[in-house]
Chain A
């Protein structure tokens, strides 16, 4: 730690990270402090760069479905889904309706679990360990659903080019319904606690405020933008898969602070439960994947709403079975830019809380 001490003031340069800032992912922050207050933030990234875009250009279209699933664990379904959508757009494959519904179901189950994880970690950062344990225990019900329906707790392996690899039957439907009912019950309690608990409110309200104008200027997405009152959701703005047939609300909050973002995530988990229940009720019969076709030379893009915001895939093919270029832009890439705004003049003790509030996904961003 460098210390410059004069008679009147004390300013520090405080390094935070790159290990375990809030979540177990590396990012290095260089904070310039004035006493307890953060005056300037420098972010250095790149610690978990794995060269995945280059790897994607060495694997065939099938192998890349699984590679993209390994980009990140929390949005591990959004990546292969968006990649498959890009391949299908380029090839002109029409995904059967049953597969479209099943894709949305996998996506929403992941979203509920991911959002619960983030708000749970928020309680952990605050020091409210028993609430953290309780939220993680509720999330465990979602993990059970994943394990029961898809066969794994994190990597669902739900998507394939042209459809999905898994299918639902009556037994799985009942199991999902039973667990979702419990999650819905717990979620109501959790939302009530997060909304009213004086400890949580004292620690999160008015902290890390992101004004609407700044959010628009920086092009922020997902719950971070919605927490500042921007109605932005790819599921509603450019419906993909079966979202056009499903009934759900785009959740926004007006506070723009850590608390508002947590509330957006919690209420979105509630919307997610509603979406999954609708799918369980009206899942159409039919094929679960379309026949494969030759992938022609050309370009395609696809986008989806991952738990953290808009996910964008670009694909270029030369007609062989290996893509020429696969590029993706993840929501955390834009959301990182909000941190210097949120952290301006905040207390050192709030830094990890603010970092957690954008739900950063470093492994996605650096891939």
Chain B
């Protein structure tokens, strides 16, 4: 018992260790896994986040006018596991430090992270294409002579055509290979 009395006295001198929340802001560590935040400027619409999300909290759906897609995270369904952040290839998803999830029943449909990501129009034929952020394009084409700035504006079909044309020009300018 005397052993513990020493600790008891020390703890008494230390004072209460509870936080004064809600009268004072509670300490939140920088790496806290709070509400999911998505940056629509980086999203490529690959959908890996919807595939790995354990609760089915993430939804991606094409808009009615087919001009883009909606990205939605339901905070009330989210498990805060950070899988979407981990597997996102372009780091468009992050977890904020915001852990304030208490809300009225009437507000439950507003507890979402909601974004509209518009499609681009192919600069050659006008078809809808999913956006490829310049940084990602630069990474993908880093070992190629292709100019990423022009290629990200083309749909897959026109990209193929452009490549064929370019390769053709290269072959015309170089001497024909010798026939065996």
Please list the residues of chain A having a beta carbon within 8 angstroms of any beta carbon in chain B. 59-60, 62-67, 69-70, 130-131, 134, 137, 140, 147-152, 155, 157, 160, 165-166, 172, 189, 192-193, 196-199
Are A157 and B81 touching (Cβ within 8 A)?
yes
Are B86 and A165 touching (Cβ within 8 A)?
yes
Chain B: CB-nearest residue to A134 = B7
Are A196 and B54 touching (Cβ within 8 A)?
no
Partner of B11, one of A59, A63, A64, A137: A137
- Measured between alpha carbons, how far is A252 from B11 in the docked complex, in Å? 32
Which chain B residues lie closer than 8 Å to A63 at the CB level?
A: 52-54
The verdict on B90 contacting chain A, using a C-beta distance below 8 Å, is no
The verdict on B61 contacting chain A, using a C-beta distance below 8 Å, is no
**A173 nearest CB across to chain B (Å):** 13
Which chain A residues lie closer than 8 Å to B32 at the CB level?
A: 147, 151-152
Chain A: CB-nearest residue to B97 = A151
* Contact A193-B54, Cβ < 8 Å, known A65-B83, A152-B80, A157-B33: no
Chain B: CB-nearest residue to A196 = B3
The verdict on B104 contacting chain A, using a C-beta distance below 8 Å, is no
Encoded as 1 (CB less than 8 Å from any A CB) or 0, chain B from 85 to 108 comes to 011000000010000000000000
List 13 A-B residue pairs with CB atoms under 8 Å apart, sorted by A's residue number. A60-B51, A62-B52, A66-B54, A67-B54, A134-B8, A137-B17, A151-B33, A152-B33, A155-B79, A157-B80, A157-B83, A160-B83, A197-B1
Which chain A residues lie closer than 8 Å to B1 at the CB level?
A: 197-199
- Interface positions of B from 142 to 177, Cβ below 8 Å from A: none
Chain B: CB-nearest residue to A171 = B30
Which chain B residues lie closer than 8 Å to A152 at the CB level?
A: 32-33, 80
Are A130 and B17 touching (Cβ within 8 A)?
no
- Measured between alpha carbons, how far is A262 from B167 in the docked complex, in Å? 74
The verdict on B15 contacting chain A, using a C-beta distance below 8 Å, is no
Are A148 and B83 touching (Cβ within 8 A)?
no
Which applies to chain B's interface (DSSP): helix, strand, loop or mixed?
Answer: loop
**A228 nearest CB across to chain B (Å):** 27
Chain B: CB-nearest residue to A148 = B29
Partner of A189, one of B7, B33, B86: B7
Chain A: CB-nearest residue to B6 = A189
Residue of B3, B51, B81, B82 most packed against chain A (CB within 10 A): B81
**A141 nearest CB across to chain B (Å):** 10
Chain A: CB-nearest residue to B31 = A151
Interface residues on B, range: 20 to 34
Knowing that A59-B54, A62-B51, A196-B3 are A-B contacts, what are 18 other residue pairs whose CB atoms are under 8 Å apart, sorted by A's residue number?
A60-B52, A62-B54, A62-B87, A63-B54, A66-B79, A69-B81, A137-B11, A147-B32, A150-B31, A151-B80, A152-B32, A152-B80, A157-B33, A157-B80, A160-B83, A165-B83, A189-B7, A197-B3
- Measured between alpha carbons, how far is A63 from B56 in the docked complex, in Å? 9
- Measured between alpha carbons, how far is A199 from B54 in the docked complex, in Å? 48
- Measured between alpha carbons, how far is A148 from B27 in the docked complex, in Å? 10
Please list the residues of chain B having a beta carbon within 8 angstroms of any beta carbon in chain A. 1, 3-4, 7-8, 11, 17, 29, 31-33, 51-55, 79-83, 86-87, 95
Are B31 and A148 touching (Cβ within 8 A)?
yes
Which chain B residues lie closer than 8 Å to A189 at the CB level?
A: 3, 7
**B37 nearest CB across to chain A (Å):** 14
**B177 nearest CB across to chain A (Å):** 38
**B81 nearest CB across to chain A (Å):** 4
Are B82 and A151 touching (Cβ within 8 A)?
yes
Partner of A151, one of B54, B83, B95: B95
- Measured between alpha carbons, how far is A162 from B17 in the docked complex, in Å? 39
Which chain A residues lie closer than 8 Å to B11 at the CB level?
A: 134, 137
Chain A: CB-nearest residue to B48 = A62
- Measured between alpha carbons, how far is A353 from B52 in the docked complex, in Å? 42
**B49 nearest CB across to chain A (Å):** 10
Are B8 and A130 touching (Cβ within 8 A)?
yes
Which chain A residues lie closer than 8 Å to B33 at the CB level?
A: 150-152, 157
Chain A: CB-nearest residue to B30 = A148
Which chain B residues lie closer than 8 Å to A157 at the CB level?
A: 33, 80-83
Chain A: CB-nearest residue to B28 = A147
Which chain A residues lie closer than 8 Å to B54 at the CB level?
A: 59, 62-67
- Measured between alpha carbons, how far is A119 from B81 in the docked complex, in Å? 29
Which chain A residues lie closer than 8 Å to B3 at the CB level?
A: 189, 192-193, 196-197
Which chain B residues lie closer than 8 Å to A134 at the CB level?
A: 4, 7-8, 11
* Contact A147-B52, Cβ < 8 Å, known A62-B87, A66-B81, A193-B4: no
**A282 nearest CB across to chain B (Å):** 23
* Contact A130-B53, Cβ < 8 Å, known A149-B31, A151-B29, A151-B33: no
- Measured between alpha carbons, how far is A54 from B65 in the docked complex, in Å? 40
Which chain B residues lie closer than 8 Å to A137 at the CB level?
A: 11, 17
- Measured between alpha carbons, how far is A62 from B54 in the docked complex, in Å? 7
Chain A: CB-nearest residue to B82 = A157
